[in-house]
Structure 1
Amino acid sequence: MIVKESRIKTRSGAGALSRHVLHGAKNEAIRVLAGSDWLMRDAMREARREGLTYGLRHIAFNPDDAMSDDQLSGFARRLCEELHADPEHLTLVVHQKDGSTHGHLILPEWQSNHVLESRFTWMRLEKVARLEEIRLGHALVPGRHDRAIAKALRREGHHQAAEQVAALIPAPESAKPRAAYTAQARRITERQGLDLPAIKQLVSTLWSQSDGLKSFRAELAEHGLTMREGDRKEARPGAHIIETSDGTLIGSFTRLTKVRMAEFRKLLAEEYSPEHEKPELDIRSTRVPVRMIAENDQTGILSAPASPPARKREPKRISLPRRNQAIDALRLRQMKDVDRPAIMQHAPSEPLYPLILSADEARIRRRIRLAIQAQQAILDQRAPEADWAPLKREEMLAKWRKALTPYQKQLRSSFARYHRAKKESKQADESRWQRMTGRAGKLEKVCQQLLLAFLEVLRFVVQALLHVVGLRSTPPDPVRPVLTEQDRPALEAFRKQYDAEFTALADPEKLEPWLSYRFDSLVQARQDRIWKWNKAHQPEKERARQEIARLRSKLAAPEGLMNTIAAVPTRPAMGPSP
């Protein structure tokens, strides 16, 4: 899932964002799940009243796999929790384009009593996206901040999720993922009538087919594109940009082609090297070693009268660029689509008679329709876990076994130390000489201390097992380095309480059935929660179904409607009048 964030300045207003989100002409369908245009403009007014530079926070998220509206709404709520935003004042819009959906979340910067958090938001939003992908079973999308995200997940106790994100971290020598263009650049090119993703794909294809910068420049020229050095030479020396023939910026060469800057500088050095340049003509070899005077001047150059001084050129006029007719047509079409609803509602068939209603009756019918929509929202509710991805047995068991492997090794190592000390203590106790010298007593104390250490490690490992399989919400408490005899009763009681888990960890043959039983319990518990939720909400849904039927009956044509039908005049018959 790709998540992008942008901040809308207060002086810019909410008009452009509202037109893009609520009236995008290129979308197949637009569903407003929460908020409105008025809510965004009101947030801008509050930000202006508080003297803030930014008024709105626009977060766009595009999942790779399909997500339902409930899943998108849940993800938006989790984004609000991460940024400590009030979910009551958000605007959530779902766009459908080319058969796939993506969401737009708009949050006000002013949150009633504080400003919306903006510290490390890119990393935090990517962290929420990775957790959502893991929760839904989607493929993980690598990002630029995977290392920081894995560290934050470990700090928050999500150890399994941290290991999965850490696997996405690229090798040190490989380049980090980065976007070829920003959302703002794409909007600018769309307003100019250009398809930036298509042009980016074209540039990437041309670079893969070319054998150097010279052939690449020629292929760009064939498609109406040029490459030149950027305007910020002092800040970024050597950076080149690609633009159209009329000067419209497409993007940086290194971003569009995914070529490192160091490699691109080598290509530039090779292009400008002397062996690649054409040999210059030495004009000294073409001089005629003859002195020309007026007597032997055969060309008449010296005897010709002096020419008048060259006329000073007038400065060129600045010609305005030609207006693009396609862009003008697109703007006119967008202006026409402002007042047109983005989602075409299914209109019922028109009645055969004209329906004449008063203003009060029309207002009442509108309230009835709104009440029907509210009851339909109750019918559309589903259990929170009904849309979750099903659990996969083999993958889940493999993750559990992999997570428990280091804990099993730690438990075996601690037990081996205790067993070795116990054997030495027993041998010393059988020796009369060692009993007399006191060595047997010392070894007995060491054995008892190692037993306490083993029980502490056992406690730590069992808690880790419960955390891995989901029976414990927090990670295990760290192993205590110093233990006394006062800790022995609690450790012994813990061992007796979790004897089944200890037996499963000690014997690999018993661990597999225990994990399988735990997986079946998880699946059954989820089904039980869904069943209980459906049973608890069944009366409410039945009442909503009955209420919808009652309200729809009120929308039917009333019995006395025929009295309000306008009389249609009859056509007179042809013929002489009586």
Structure 2
Amino acid sequence: MIISSEPLIASRGGGETCDHVFRGSGNESIDVIQGSEFDVMQTFDEARDNHDKYAVCHFKINPKRNITHEQMLQSVSMLAVEFGFEPDTCTIVRHRKVKAGEPDADEHYHLYASWRNSNGKCLDSSYMRVRQEKISRTSEFLFGHDIVKGRHQVAVIRQLRDEGKADIADHIEAHTPDLYEPVQSAFTAIQHQSALRQGVNLGKLRRSIRDLRITSESFSKMVEGLSSLGVSIQKGEKANTYIIVNNKNNKFLGSANRLFEMKKGEFANQYEALQQGKDTSFALSEDERPVKASEMSGDEDFSPVTPAIRLRQCRLWLIRAFHPEVELLTSGPIILR
């Protein structure tokens, strides 16, 4: 799961963000789970009237596998507890967008949380990226999903241990290969835009290449399969570096090892061995085995209970589980001892 956020400036208004979230093209469907576009626009109006810099915080929740309605509410509740906003009043929108080769990951969520709550207190925005990753990794642990390696994985593990959640921290550490190696993106934003001008979507190409790696029985079969994608491998300018180029114009698209999600040295060794007539068979790990729909954690559960009540129930459960030092009053505020 990847969670990102952006504070939206009140003076700029909510028209642009609402156009994307409530009417964005390219989505199979757009479902408003809680709140409305009117609520978001009203929050912007109130923030401007109060001369606040920010109106809302726009969170995007992007699971690597589709999650149930209940699991989504748990993630929202954890975000609310972590950053101090009111989950009952936020707006939640689900987008469904088909991803090539990922039929079980075609949903993501947009969440608008008011920057200032009803008590006049602003959302706690310090170290947001690290704390968002903590919620992402915790969600993966709770939902039984594969652990995604984030840029702040070591800091997340340390923070979870400081909070007394050693079981979650131990699980994340055990399921994060190359924990202390920095995370590198498969391609940069500049490379993505350059590829688009060539008629190539690097996101789709990366998924296709990953599928090719997973389904190929050997390294040579993987390399041969690139021709069907309209790309090929060439040696880069630097030592032990190989790149993917567009067969139509021979232009650079991205680093070969990053698009194949392999270590630079490992890819170079295998490719150079292949040039010498040696081949390598692939043995997929359990984590790389394709996930079947039947192995998902369950179907969505839409009960007649209102979303606001369900959010509060999830929030209370999470606070009891992860913050035992907090005393809960079911009909009143949260009181710290």
TM-score if structure 2 supplies the norm length? 0.59
Matching residue within 124, 127, 133 for 2:134? 127
2:111 aligned residue: 105
Q: Distance in 1 between matches of 2:16 and 2:107?
A: 21
Matched residue SS, 1:26:
coil
Q: Deviations over 1:154-206 (max 9, x none)?
A: 11111111111222455477332546456x9989999x997451366699969
> Which runs of 5 or more residues in structure 2 are unaligned?
211-225, 265-302, 315-320, 326-337
Larger % of strand: which?
2
* Structure 1: gaps (5+ residues): 228-241, 243-250, 262-375, 386-470, 476-578
Contact 2:149 2:183 survives alignment (8 Å):
no
CA distance in 2: counterparts of 1:260 and 1:81, whole angstroms: 37
Query: Partner of 1:157 in structure 2?
Result: 164
The verdict on how the C-alpha distance between 1:74 and 1:173 changes in structure 2, with shifts beyond 3 A counting, is closer
The whole-number CA distance in structure 1 between the counterparts of 2:232 and 2:132 is 33
Q: Distance in 1 between matches of 2:34 and 2:107?
A: 16
Matched with 2:234 is: 210
For residues 207 and 50 of structure 1, do their structure 2 counterparts lie closer, same or farther at Cα, with a shift above 3 Å needed?
farther
Counterpart code for 2:142: R
* Distance 1:162-1:67 versus aligned 2 partners, 3 A rule: same
Q: 1:253 to 1:211 in 2, by over 3 A?
A: closer
- Residue 377 in 1 paired to residue 304 in 2? yes
Q: Give the letter for the 1:159 counterpart.
A: A
Higher relative helix content: 1
1:58-137 correspondence to structure 2 within 5 Å: 58-98=58-98, 99=103, 100-112=106-118, 113-137=120-144
- Residue 29 of structure 2 is matched in structure 1 by 29
CA distance in 2, matches of 1:163, 1:202: 32
SS in 2 for 1:377: coil
User: Structure 1 residues 203, 225: closer, same or farther in 2, change over 3 A?
Assistant: farther
* In 1, Cα distance between equivalents of 2:54 and 2:257: 31
After TM superposition, give the deviation of residue 55 of structure 1 in Å.
2.5
For 1:449, the equivalent position in structure 2 comes to none
Q: Work out the number of aligned pairs and report it.
A: 251
One-letter code aligned to 1:211 = K
Task: Report the counterpart of residue 46 of structure 1 in structure 2.
Answer: 46
Which residue matches 1:245? none
- The question of whether the paired residues in 1 share the 8 Å contact of 2:173 and 2:179 is answered with no
| Alignment-mate amino acid for residue 151 of structure 2 | R
> Where does residue 175 of structure 1 map in the other structure?
182
Supply the distance in 1 between the matched residues of 2:194 and 2:49 (Cα, whole angstroms): 29
Aligned in 2, Cα 1:179/1:114: closer, same or farther, shift over 3 Å?
farther
Match of 2:221 in 1: none
What TM-score do you get using the length of structure 1 for normalisation?
0.36
Please state whether the residue corresponding to 1:142 is helix, strand or coil. Answer: coil
Identical-pair percentage: 26
Query: 1:226, CA displacement in angstroms?
Result: 5.1
Q: Structure 2: which amino acid aligns with 1:47?
A: A
Cα gap change, 1:47 to 1:134, in 2 (>3 Å)? same
CA change 1:74–1:172 in 2 (3 A) is closer
Q: How far apart in 2 are the matches of 1:106 and 1:80?
A: 11
Provide the secondary structure at the position in 2 that maps to 1:148. Answer: helix
